[in-house]
A and B are shown apart, each in its own frame.
Chain A
Amino acid sequence: MKNTIITFLAILPLLGACTKKSNDILIGEFGSLTGNDATFGLSTNKGLRMAFDEINAAGGINGKKIKLITIDDQGKSEEAASAVTRLITQDNVVAIIGEVASGRSIAAAPIAQKHQIPMVTHASTNPEVTKKGDFIFRTCFIDPFQGFVGAKFSIQTLKAKKAAILRDVKSDYSVGLADVFATEFKNMGGEIIADLSFQGGDLDFKAQLTQIRSKNPDVIFIPGYYTEVGLMAKQARELGIKVPLVGGDGWDSARLHEIGKEAINGSYYSNHYTTESTDPTVVEFIKKFKEKFNETPDSMAALSYDTAKILAAAIGRTKELTPKNIRDELAKTTDFPGVTGKITINADRNAVKSAVIVQVQGPERKYISTVSP
Chain B
Amino acid sequence: MQDFVQHIINGISLGSIYALIALGYTMVYGIMKMINFAHADVYMVGAFTAYYVAKWTGLESSPGVSTLLLLLVSAMIICSVLGLLIERLAYRPLRKSPKLNVLITAIGVSLFLEFSGQVIFGADPKVFPEVMNQFVIANFGGLELKSSDVTVLGVSLIAMVILNFIIQKTKIGRAMRAVSSNASVASMLGVNTDRVISFTFIVGSSLAAIGSILVGMKYPKIDPLMGMMIGLKAFVAAVLGGIGSIPGAVAGALIMGLSEEMVVGYLSSTYRDALAFGILIVILIFKPTGLFGKYSVEKV
CA distance in complex: A202, B2 (Å): 24
- State whether the Cβ of B219 lies closer than 8 Å to any Cβ in chain A: yes
Residue of B nearest to A201 (CB): B229
Residue of B nearest to A170 (CB): B270
Binds B, one of A183-191, A205-213, A244-252, A316-324: A205-213
Question: Of A42, A206, A234, which one neighbours B10 at CB under 8 angstroms?
Answer: A206
Q: Are B264 and A208 interface neighbours, CB within 8 A?
A: yes
- State whether the Cβ of B154 lies closer than 8 Å to any Cβ in chain A: no
The digit string for B22-39, where 1 denotes a CB below 8 A from any CB of A, is 000000000000000000
Q: Are B118 and A199 interface neighbours, CB within 8 A?
A: no
Q: Are A238 and B261 interface neighbours, CB within 8 A?
A: no
CA distance in complex: A197, B221 (Å): 20
- State whether the Cβ of B76 lies closer than 8 Å to any Cβ in chain A: no
Q: Are B14 and A169 interface neighbours, CB within 8 A?
A: no
Point out the residues of chain B lying under 8 angstroms from A204, CB to CB.
Answer: 10, 14, 219, 260-261
- State whether the Cβ of A367 lies closer than 8 Å to any Cβ in chain B: no
| Total A residues in contact with B, Cβ cutoff 8 Å | 34
CA distance in complex: A196, B218 (Å): 22
- State whether the Cβ of A230 lies closer than 8 Å to any Cβ in chain B: yes
Question: Of A38, A207, A261, which one neighbours B123 at CB under 8 angstroms?
Answer: A38
CA distance in complex: A147, B14 (Å): 33
Q: Are B261 and A39 interface neighbours, CB within 8 A?
A: no
Q: Are A255 and B130 interface neighbours, CB within 8 A?
A: no
Complex interface residues of chain B between 194 and 253 (CB less than 8 A to chain A): 215, 218-221, 223, 229-230
Complex interface residues of chain A between 312 and 357 (CB less than 8 A to chain B): none
Complex interface residues of chain A between 223 and 241 (CB less than 8 A to chain B): 227, 230-231, 234, 238-240
CA distance in complex: A255, B148 (Å): 22
CA distance in complex: A239, B134 (Å): 13
Q: Are B123 and A230 interface neighbours, CB within 8 A?
A: no
- How far is the CB of A293 from the nearest CB of chain B, in Å? 16
- State whether the Cβ of A90 lies closer than 8 Å to any Cβ in chain B: no
- How far is the CB of B5 from the nearest CB of chain A, in Å? 10
Point out the residues of chain B lying under 8 angstroms from A227, CB to CB.
Answer: 125, 221
Q: Are B3 and A214 interface neighbours, CB within 8 A?
A: yes
Point out the residues of chain B lying under 8 angstroms from A208, CB to CB.
Answer: 264-265, 269
Point out the residues of chain B lying under 8 angstroms from A296, CB to CB.
Answer: none
- How far is the CB of B114 from the nearest CB of chain A, in Å? 12
- State whether the Cβ of A34 lies closer than 8 Å to any Cβ in chain B: yes
Q: Are B127 and A258 interface neighbours, CB within 8 A?
A: yes
- How far is the CB of B203 from the nearest CB of chain A, in Å? 26
Residue of A nearest to B4 (CB): A210
CA distance in complex: A121, B218 (Å): 36
- How far is the CB of A170 from the nearest CB of chain B, in Å? 9
- State whether the Cβ of A89 lies closer than 8 Å to any Cβ in chain B: no
- State whether the Cβ of A281 lies closer than 8 Å to any Cβ in chain B: no
- How far is the CB of B261 from the nearest CB of chain A, in Å? 5
Question: Of B6, B220, B265, which one neighbours A259 at CB under 8 angstroms?
Answer: B220
CA distance in complex: A198, B273 (Å): 12
Q: Are B124 and A42 interface neighbours, CB within 8 A?
A: yes
Complex interface residues of chain A between 9 and 45 (CB less than 8 A to chain B): 34-36, 38-39, 42
CA distance in complex: A275, B291 (Å): 58
Point out the residues of chain B lying under 8 angstroms from A35, CB to CB.
Answer: 123-124
Point out the residues of chain A lying under 8 angstroms from B146, CB to CB.
Answer: 238
- How far is the CB of B220 from the nearest CB of chain A, in Å? 6
Q: Are B10 and A36 interface neighbours, CB within 8 A?
A: no
Point out the residues of chain B lying under 8 angstroms from A261, CB to CB.
Answer: 130
- How far is the CB of B225 from the nearest CB of chain A, in Å? 8
Given A42-B124, A201-B229, A227-B221: A34 touches B118 (CB 8 Å cut-off) = yes
Question: Of A74, A207, A234, which one neighbours B261 at CB under 8 angstroms?
Answer: A207
Point out the residues of chain A lying under 8 angstroms from B215, CB to CB.
Answer: 203
- State whether the Cβ of B190 lies closer than 8 Å to any Cβ in chain A: no
Complex interface residues of chain B between 241 and 300 (CB less than 8 A to chain A): 260-266, 268-270
- State whether the Cβ of B142 lies closer than 8 Å to any Cβ in chain A: yes
Complex interface residues of chain B between 98 and 147 (CB less than 8 A to chain A): 118, 122-125, 127, 130, 134, 142, 144, 146
Point out the residues of chain B lying under 8 angstroms from A74, CB to CB.
Answer: 123
Given A34-B124, A199-B269, A201-B229: A210 touches B219 (CB 8 Å cut-off) = no
Q: Are A234 and B220 interface neighbours, CB within 8 A?
A: yes
- How far is the CB of A229 from the nearest CB of chain B, in Å? 11
Residue of B nearest to A40 (CB): B124
Point out the residues of chain A lying under 8 angstroms from B223, CB to CB.
Answer: 36
CA distance in complex: A213, B260 (Å): 19
- How far is the CB of B272 from the nearest CB of chain A, in Å? 8
Point out the residues of chain A lying under 8 angstroms from B130, CB to CB.
Answer: 261
CA distance in complex: A105, B266 (Å): 34
CA distance in complex: A261, B134 (Å): 12
Q: What are 15 A-B pairs with beta-carbon distances under 8 A?
A: A34-B118, A38-B124, A196-B268, A198-B269, A202-B269, A204-B219, A206-B10, A207-B7, A207-B261, A207-B263, A207-B264, A210-B3, A210-B6, A214-B3, A240-B142
Measured CB to CB, the residues of A under 8 A from B are 34-36, 38-39, 42, 74, 169, 196-199, 201-204, 206-208, 210-211, 213-214, 227, 230-231, 234, 238-240, 255, 258-259, 261
CB-based closest 3 A-B pairs: A34-B123, A207-B264, A38-B124
Q: A34-B118, A197-B270, A208-B269 are in contact. List 18 more A-B contacts (CB 8 A).
A: A74-B123, A196-B269, A199-B269, A201-B229, A203-B219, A204-B219, A206-B261, A207-B10, A210-B7, A211-B266, A230-B221, A231-B219, A231-B221, A238-B134, A238-B144, A238-B148, A259-B220, A259-B221
